[in-house]
Amino acid sequence: MDDAPAYSPTPRTRATRNRDRVRYDAATVHAILDEGRLCHLGFVADGAPVVLPTLYARVGGVLYLHGSTGAAAMRAARDGGLEVCATVTLTDGLVLARSGMHHSVNYRSVVVRGTARRVSDEAEQRSALDAIVDAVVPGRSADCRPADAKELAQTAVLRLELREVSAKVRTGGVNEEPEDLDLPHWAGVVPVTETIGAPEPDAAMAPGTPLPGYLRTFTGASD
Amino acid sequence: MDDAPAYSPTPRTRATRNRDRVRYDAATVHAILDEGRLCHLGFVADGAPVVLPTLYARVGGVLYLHGSTGAAAMRAARDGGLEVCATVTLTDGLVLARSGMHHSVNYRSVVVRGTARRVSDEAEQRSALDAIVDAVVPGRSADCRPADAKELAQTAVLRLELREVSAKVRTGGVNEEPEDLDLPHWAGVVPVTETIGAPEPDAAMAPGTPLPGYLRTFTGASD
């Protein structure tokens, strides 16, 4: 699935505005999903929309979602599947134009729509949970205690196929009305990035416990 | 409204799990909304959930949402109101426990549910758009060209009252099963913050144009 050249637009994912920002190619979609860590998972409960921040991982053409989305949603996902929309957004910059209306944000987002189903196979559940831990910090799942049977029974994982998918990407500088270019206002882009800080060891750890290699890489630590 | 001590829980916002993380006090809710910039706006379209990243601003007890959410949603918001769920999530840290199951994220989120209505009053629309620009960079709305009549007509703003609101906050270190404390795995928290970079001036600006004071403050620039 990683070699899939592109997702096919559907009536629901076809862009109605800013068409030049929309992408369906798998490379763009997968890169955004792999850089993100939390999605905002939307579903309908008692007829009304609900959106909850949810950890996830992409494995090939599947999104696995951590099932902390409430009992009713989990029952629906187990029984017949739960209609969801999972959206991942990365912010790259604030675009300050000379006109208020052309202010914008440089961002990369992916919207995945479809039916999420609760994973019932234990091996798939285990590998999905490992993938979610590795999506938080690459390499971490091999350096912690795996779930035991009781923990597995308490934890739901949802599986959402990447079929109806679109990405939206805004990059670059300001867009202005030509007649605004001479206005005296400062214009340009303010970059926004996520910064990973220095790891804060748990007080119960033995003093001097070294930082594992995957965490040194992830945090850019020198010790 | 800023002095409101707390929002009242409703059956839909009452926590069913991790109750100790849920807050209804206005100070916590407003601080999270004011630090955020993008919400994830959920609504129902043709019976299915849709979640889109959306700029917003809080003004007192109202959330104003930038109306780039598609024509069908905007029509619904104009005609009878659109049932929405607006969720804002700030990530503060990655919590690496000795067991896979206790991995977590330090985060602060707010979920607002209710009926969004399209703003029709021009003065309210103007002040809402200014507030949204100032939510991106404080002080910016006074330093750009205001919208003209044509731009106002093209831009929808949604108004969502802060009535059915809850916050969720996870802070602190790892939670472990007592029997896991002696496991050899590194445990602790990896902080995550948003970093504002050095402003990148538009090439069409006169060389040497100084950075306005509000942008020096916002970006921590020294020039």
Name the closest residue on chain A to residue B202, using Cα atoms: A188
Residue B41 tokens read as: 């706006």
B95 and B174 in contact (C-beta within 8 Å)?
Answer: yes
Mean pLDDT for A187-208 is 95
For residue B209, the model assigns a pLDDT of 87
Q: How far apart are CA B148 and CA A70, in angstroms?
A: 45
Regarding the domain delimited by B19-175, which CATH topology (the fold level of the hierarchy) does it fall under? Pnp Oxidase; Chain A (2.30.110)
Q: How far apart are CA A20 and CA B53, in angstroms?
A: 17
Task: Please calculate the CA angle A175-A177-A182 and round it to the nearest 5 degrees.
Answer: 100
For residue B12, the model assigns a pLDDT of 86
Q: How far apart are CA A219 and CA B188, in angstroms?
A: 13
Name the closest residue on chain A to residue B53, using Cα atoms: A89
B13 and B167 in contact (C-beta within 8 Å)?
Answer: no
From chain B residues 32-91, the ones with a CB under 8 A of any chain A CB are 37-38, 40-53, 55, 68, 70-71, 83-87, 89, 91
Name the closest residue on chain B to residue A48, using Cα atoms: B83
Q: pLDDT tens, B102-154?
A: 999 999 999 999 999 999 999 999 999 999 999 999 999 999 999 999 999 88
Handedness of CA A49, A52, A54, A58 (dihedral sign): positive
- Percent of chain A past pLDDT 90, that is, above it, reads 80
Q: How far apart are CA B200 and CA A141, in angstroms?
A: 39
- Percent of chain B past pLDDT 70, that is, above it, reads 95
| Least confident segment among A104-118, A148-162, B57-71, B137-151 | B57-71
Q: pLDDT tens, B38-91?
A: 999 999 999 999 999 999 999 999 999 998 666 667 777 777 899 999 999 999
Mean pLDDT for A35-57 is 96
Q: How far is B3 from chain A (nearest CA, A)?
A: 27
Chain A CB contacts of B180 under 8 Å are: 145
**Is B84 within 8 Å of A188 when comparing Cβ atoms?**
no
Chain A CB contacts of B218 under 8 Å are: 190
The domain segmentation of chain A, as residue ranges, is: 19-194
Q: How far is A201 from chain B (nearest CA, A)?
A: 4
Q: Does A201 touch chain B if contact means CB atoms closer than 8 Å?
A: yes
User: In which band, very low, low, confident or very high, does the pLDDT at A1 lie, cut at 50, 70 and 90?
Assistant: very low
Q: How far is A171 from chain B (nearest CA, A)?
A: 13
For residue A71, the model assigns a pLDDT of 67
For residue A123, the model assigns a pLDDT of 96
Chain A CB contacts of B192 under 8 Å are: 194-197
Q: What's the Cα-to-Cα distance from A133 to each of B19, B91, B204, rounded to whole Å?
A: 24, 16, 46
For all residues of chain B together, what is the average pLDDT?
Answer: 92
Q: How far is B146 from chain A (nearest CA, A)?
A: 6
Name the amino acid, one letter, at A171. T
For residue A172, the model assigns a pLDDT of 96
**Is A186 within 8 Å of B143 when comparing Cβ atoms?**
yes
User: In which band, very low, low, confident or very high, does the pLDDT at A139 lie, cut at 50, 70 and 90?
Assistant: very high
Name the closest residue on chain B to residue A91, using Cα atoms: B38
For all residues of chain A together, what is the average pLDDT?
Answer: 92
Pick the CATH number of A19-194 from 3.90.79.10, 2.170.120.12, 2.30.110.10, 3.20.20.370: 2.30.110.10
* Other beta carbons less than 10 A from residue B208's beta carbon: 6
**Is B200 within 8 Å of A188 when comparing Cβ atoms?**
yes
- Which of B101, B108, B115, B129 to mutate: most A Cβ within 10 Å? B101
- Per-position DSSP letters for A36-70, written without gaps between them: --EEEEEEEETTEEEEEEEEEEEETTEEEEE--S-
Mean pLDDT for A79-107 is 96
Q: How far apart are CA A192 and CA A90, in angstroms?
A: 10
Q: How far apart are CA A142 and CA A145, in angstroms?
A: 8
User: In which band, very low, low, confident or very high, does the pLDDT at A17 lie, cut at 50, 70 and 90?
Assistant: confident
User: In which band, very low, low, confident or very high, does the pLDDT at A95 lie, cut at 50, 70 and 90?
Assistant: very high
Whether the per-residue pLDDT at B1 is higher than 50: the answer is: no
From chain B residues 104-143, the ones with a CB under 8 A of any chain A CB are 105, 107, 109, 111, 113, 129-130, 133, 136-137, 140-141, 143
Whether the per-residue pLDDT at A160 is higher than 70: the answer is: yes
Of A50, A129, A192, the CB nearest to B42: A50
For residue B138, the model assigns a pLDDT of 97
Of B44, B105, B203, the CB nearest to A44: B44
Whether the per-residue pLDDT at A207 is higher than 70: the answer is: yes
Q: How far apart are CA A187 and CA A139, in angstroms?
A: 41
Whether the per-residue pLDDT at A3 is higher than 60: the answer is: no
User: In which band, very low, low, confident or very high, does the pLDDT at A6 lie, cut at 50, 70 and 90?
Assistant: confident
